[in-house]
Amino acid sequence: MSHLILVRHGQSQWNLENRFTGWVDVELAPKGKLEACKAGELIKKLSISFSHFYSSYQTRSIDTLKLILNTMRIKSDNIIRAWELNERHYGALTGLNKDEMKKKYGEDQIYTFRRSWNNPPDPLKRDSPYHPLNIDIYKNIPIKKIPDTESLKNTYDRVVPYYKKNIKKKMNENIIVSAHGNSIRSLCKYLFNINNDEISKLEIPTGNPLLIKFKDDIVTSANYLDKERAKDLIKFD
């Protein structure tokens, strides 16, 4: 039996402000830091030894994992950071308020942009300060790999190959991945074989560890550790 924990970063400052964030590198809000520490306490109670730790390139993901590991009394100097685990790029919506965009485009269109499988927003202009090309942490990523916008499918197409190549082969041990709402949705789509329509219904709560158990490379169970903040997921008997 092996264990994989997926945890969406704690509430970020732009989550708090209800803004589309994507690849912009924002910090955790105070509530997000508390969520990360609580996540660490919940994981610690499992009394499971974890060997590998992954995060995206983004500060909110990295700091969430550092707070988790600090709470578990584990050194955080062996975190593997992968841009492939980044949040989905929200294109021209980046930085804008979600409620204001609902008024402008209508709730159905914004829901489509946020939840659908293959409907990316308009591209973000490359001279925008919010474009990854203009954010220092992405300077070592090949330009051709940096998106102007993404659908969930685009996100899946970078997250899942990375998982297969780098994480799946280590699944004989226990692993924690700190990532984002859409990168975790992508992994869940793959791990639970969720179809393109049903994936729109999957919501990932901030700072709530999702414990997935495997036996012989097959998922046997999945549940959130904080029951009070759990969201609907695949049901296992």
Helix axes 152-162, 181-192, angle to 10 degrees: 70
% of residues, the chain, pLDDT over 70:
97
pLDDT score for 236: 45
pLDDT score for 70: 97
Domain ranges of the chain: 2-214
Residue-wise pLDDT for 92-115, tens only, equals 999 999 999 999 889 888 888 888
Residue 233 confidence (pLDDT) above 70: no
The residues, ordered by sequence, that sit 6+ positions from 162 with a Cβ below 8 Å of its Cβ are: 82, 84, 85
**Which residues are designated catalytic?**
9, 87
| For residues 39-66, average pLDDT | 97
- Identify the CA nearest to 15 among candidates 31, 3, 2, 4: 31
- Identify the CA nearest to 191 among candidates 219, 216, 223: 219
Helix axes 98-105, 107-115, angle to 10 degrees: 120
| For residues 2-17, average pLDDT | 97
| For residues 114-130, average pLDDT | 93
- Which phi and psi (to 5°) does residue 12 adopt? -95, 170
- Among 5-14, 72-81, 112-121, 215-224, the range of highest mean pLDDT: 5-14
Residue 234 confidence (pLDDT) above 70: no
Predicted structure pTM score: 0.94
Measured between alpha carbons, how far is residue 207 from residues 1, 31, 161 in Å?
Answer: 24, 10, 24
CATH-assigned architecture of domain 2-214: 3-Layer(aba) Sandwich (3.40)
Q: How far apart are the first and last CA of the chain?
A: 17
- Identify the CA nearest to 226 among candidates 203, 202, 210, 204: 210
